[in-house]
Structure formats: structure tokens, C-alpha cells
Amino acid sequence: MRSSPKCVVDAIAALSLDQKNKIKELGFGELLKFSLDGFGDRYMLEFLMDHTDPENMEIRVGGGDKNLPINEHVVQCVLGVPTGKGRDTPDSPYMESELNNLRTELGVKTDKIKSSDLIAKINGGGTDYLTIRCFFILLCYKLLFPGSQNHVTEREVALTHSPKDIAEVNWAKAVVDNLRSAARKWHSDKLAVSKKKRTLSGSVTFLLVCGLCFLYRHIYCSSTIICLP
């Protein structure tokens, strides 16, 4: 699992006021309030993924109306991502050269761009698109669409190709679609791969917040409405 909400929280803390304003202009003002910086035990994430139904897109925790929906509205409430102009995420073919260009622009000497390279650029305080792009790249591969890679890939390069792409994409839908694929893979690997070797991908941070909301609701509340931050 390469998801790391702490990296995103650290990046948000490093942003200057001017940088935050640039991010708000692209529709991500609510996300700047995000503050979850850890997971605790991996068992909870595995439990939530085990109980995620990729066909009906819900977390099956109690049956009937106790199941937790996974839809655009809930993702938007939990993660603070916008729906933009409803565009789907761009494809990522032929992005190898742009990935290489990004590595050159950032002055990365190794063959992989890591989160530390992105945060170093953000710490520079610039408001140019390269700096702001570093924040969104980090957001994509550490919070919204984490996979098995611990470095920037062509996918993140495609997702952040331009400010227009970032402003127009329906990010809530993209998170739902990505989680559906991740849950299908998790369940399909159940028989072929031991749990220790199975990769948790997709926005498991979202699943965790939903799970905590469910526990809070049933311990402290009588309401049947999901408690969202």
C-alpha cells in the first residue's frame, strides 16, 4: 500500500497563502481542510476493503440501510474534491517524455520522482504551475488514486497535464471509479494471493473515514445519517 494521507497533510501545511489561493482557484479549497494523517492498524483497512461491494458501490457493514454508500456526493463531502465540469480523467498514453521533462524541471537526479522531491518544490514557495502541479501530483498518488508504486508515474503526469484539466475533471467520480476497480482486484485476488501479499489500492483513506463515521454514529448517535467531517 502506497497511500499516505500524512504526505498530503504535510504538503498542505507547507503551502503559503498565495499557493493555497492558487489551489482554491482550481476548486480544491475544501480539500485544504483535510487533516487525517495516519491509518493505525492495516487490519481496519483490510476489513473495510473486504466489505466493499464493487458492484453496488457500498461498504457492507450492517445490512440494509446500515450499509455505507460510495458515491460522488459522499466522496465530495469526505475528501473535499470538486466535480469540476464533469469531465472524465484524461488518458495517460505517451506520457513518458513528459514524465522525463518533469524530472528535469524538478532537478531530480535519480530515475524516479518521489514525494520528497515534490514537497521540496512546494517548500520553495512558488506560485507557478510547476509548483502547484507538484501538490496535485502528490494528492493523486498519495490520497486519491494510490497504487503499488512509491513514485510518480505517467498516470499522475496525465492527470495534472494542465490547470484546465484539473479544474474541469470530476474528481469525485474519478475516486469512485478507481475504488471500484481497486475493490474488484482485491476480491479477485482473494483466492490467488495471500492477504499479506495483496495490495491495498484506491482511496483507502476515504474508506477509513467512512468506517469511523459509522462507528461514531452507532456509539454516540442515534441518527441514521452518515456523520461526515
Task: Please indicate whether residue 199 or residue 23 has the higher confidence score (pLDDT).
Answer: 23
Q: Is residue 9 part of a domain?
A: yes
Q: Is residue 225 part of a domain?
A: no
Task: Please indicate whether residue 53 or residue 214 has the higher confidence score (pLDDT).
Answer: 53
Q: Is residue 94 part of a domain?
A: yes
| The pLDDT of residue 222 | 42
| The pLDDT of residue 194 | 62
Average pLDDT over residues 46-62: 87
Q: Is residue 152 part of a domain?
A: yes
What mean pLDDT value characterizes the chain? 84
| pLDDT of 43 above 90 | no
SS (H, E, C) the chain: CCCCHHHHHHHHHHCCHHHHHHHHHCCCCHHHHCCCCCCCCHHHHHHHHHCEECCCCEECCCCHHHCEECCHHHHHHHHCCCCCCCECCCCCCCCHHHHHHHHHHHCCCCCCCCHHHHHHHHHCCCCCHHHHHHHHHHHHHHHHCCCCCCCCCHHHHHHCCCHHHHHHECHHHHHHHHHHHHHHHHHHCCCCCCHHHCCCCCCHHHHHHHHHHHHHHHHHCCCCCCCCC
Q: Indicate the number of domains in the chain.
A: 1
**Residue 128's domain spans which residues?**
5-220
Average pLDDT over residues 33-38: 80
| The pLDDT of residue 227 | 43
pTM (predicted TM-score): 0.87
Q: Is residue 16 part of a domain?
A: yes
Average pLDDT over residues 122-142: 95
Most confident of 3-12, 50-59, 121-130: 121-130
| pLDDT of 224 above 60 | no
Q: Is residue 227 part of a domain?
A: no
The pLDDT-based confidence of 225 (bands split at 50, 70, 90) is: very low
Q: Is residue 18 part of a domain?
A: yes
pLDDT tens figures, 72-100:
999 998 899 999 988 888 776 678 888 99
The pLDDT-based confidence of 217 (bands split at 50, 70, 90) is: low
Q: Is residue 100 part of a domain?
A: yes
